[in-house]
Structure 1
Amino acid sequence: MASAEFGRAVHRWRDRVSPEAAGLPAGGRRRAAGLRREELALLAGISVDYVTRLEQGRAAHPSAQVVEALARALRLSGTERAHLFRLAGLAPPGPETVPAHLTPSVQRLLDRLTGTPVAVYDASWTLLVANPPYAALMGDPSGWRGDQRNGVWRHFHGLGARVRHTPESLRGFEAALVADLRTAAGRYPADQRLRRLVEELRAHSARFAELWDSGAVGRHEAARKTIDHPQVGPLTLDCDVLTVAGSDLRMMIYTAEPGTEDAERLALLTVLGTQALAG
C-alpha cells in the first residue's frame, strides 16, 4: 500500500535526523539517534497521534501542507521531498506554485541564529517555520492550521499581533502586505491555494478589497517595532525582512540594541522559549 510505504519513508528519514541537527536539545537517554515521534510532530506542527498513524500506514491521503511540513522537519533534499509527495499520491509542487521548500542554506542560517527570533515565510506570507525565540516573542504558532498560518489572513481577520502600530505605520504595513500578495499572485498565477486566499480575503475584509482593487503599492522595510509582550512587557526591537533570492522565502529577524533593557528582556524570552521547547 502507498500509505504503508509513505509511513516507512517518514520513519526511515526520522531515524537519520539527530535532535541537535534539528535544533532541539538531545535530552536524556535515547533508544535511537534520530528524532522521537513527538519531536517530529513538534517540528512539523502536527499531532503525535497523526505522526504515529502516518508511520503505521493507518492514515491515508495526507494533505500537501502536511507533506511539506514533514519534508521541512525531516530536512529532505529536493529529490526526497518530491518522492515523499508522490508516495502521498500528490504531484510535487512545481515552478508555478509558491515555493515552500527551505533551502539548505536557509536551514543553516536558522541553525546558527538559535538565540535570535527568526521566522521564515513564503512569498504569500504563509509561515513555514518559526524558531523558539520567535515563538516566545510573538506567540506560539504550532497550533495554527491552514489559513491561520498566513500573516495576511491573520491580520485582516483581526487575529491580534503583538506589534504596536500608529495609524500611519498600520496603513503602510497593510499596503505592503497587500502589495506583496499581489506580486505573489502575479508570479504564481497557477497556485490555487493563493488564488483561494485572495478571494476569501476580498470577500471577508472591505479594507483588503479596497487596497487590492486600488493597486496599492508598498514594501517591507527595516524598522524599529514595539512588541507588547504579555509576560515581560514592551520590547522595542529592530525588525529586518530578508528575501532569499531564487526561492522567494522571507526571513523575519528581530534583534535588540546591545546593553539595553530591551536586550535583557529579549534574552529572558529566548531562555523561556528554549525551555518551552524542551519541556
Structure 2
Amino acid sequence: MKAFVFPGQGAQYPGMGKDLYENSAEAKALFDKANEILGFNITNIMFEGSVDDLKQTKVTQPAIFLHSVLLAKTLKDFSPDMVAGHSLGEFSALVANGALSFEDGLTLVSKRAMAMQKACEIEPSTMAAIVGLEDEIVEEVCRSIEEVVVPANYNCPGQLVISGSMTGIDKACEILTEKGAKRALKLVVGGAFHSPLMEPAREELAAAIESTVFSNPVCPVYQNVNAKPVTDPDTVKKNLIAQLTAPVRWTQTVQNMIADGAASFTEIGPGKVLQGLVKKVDRAMETSGVNSFEG
C-alpha cells in the first residue's frame, strides 16, 4: 500500500513552487486563484521573497499548503491508499484525498494561521525539542511543572517537542537535561503550538471548520490527534478542531500506517523532514519525496 505524507511549518524555502507555476497550466491557475482567496500576492513572496518574508505566519502556512497540494495535483501517478500530514500538513492531506476542496482548504489554512498568530500574541510562549529520552520521562517532567508545559509533537522514538509558557519551557529543559537528554533545544517559533495556550485559536477555527463542507475521502487520513485512520467527514472535522491544542502523534501515526500495510512513504511538499522521521520509526521502510514539478 502507498502512503503519502505532507509536511508542516518549517519546511518553507525561497523560490518554492516557482517551477510548478512555470510548467503546469493547472498549477498556475490555482496559484492565481490562491492570490485572490488570500487577498495578497503569495506567489510573489513564495517565488521572490526572502527567508524572513516566508517566516510570517500568514505566509508560511498557506505557502507550504499550496506547494504540497499543487505537487499532488500535478503528479501523474497520485493514487494514495492512505495519507497523513504533520500539523498544518493534515490540511494538505485532506485536500489531496478529496475530503476538502482546494478553495476551502486554503481558506481554512489562512484562518488557522491568523488565529494562531493572535493566540501567540496573547501570551509569550515557546517550544523545545527534547532528544534522547523516552517519551514517558518527558511526559512525567511536563506533568511535574506548575506552569503550562505539555508534549506537543511525538516526532519519532527519542524525539519529542514540548510546548508551553516561557518559564515552564526553561524549567523543563533544565530538568530534562539533568535527566540525561542529549539535547533540550528551544525552537525559534512564534508560540506554544499544540498546547492549551492555543485555545483562543481553536475556538476561532472551530467555527470556520464547522461551517465548511467535508466530503467522503478516497482513502483514510491518519489524523494527528489519535494517529488512527478516519474516513467519516464529521470525525475528520472534530479531530481537526482538536488538533490545535492536542499533541501531534506522528510516531504513532507512522507505526499505525506500517501496521496497516504501508509498503512505501512518499513525502509531498517542501523538505525531507518526514522521510527522515519515517526512517527513524522503521529503518527498512522505503521512502521518497516529491518537492518539484515532475510533469
Instruction: Give the structure with higher Rg (CA).
Output: 1
User: Common fold, TM-score beyond 0.5?
Assistant: no
Q: Structure with the greater relative contact order (CA < 8 A, sep ≥ 6): 1 or 2?
A: 2
Which structure is higher in strand share?
A: 2
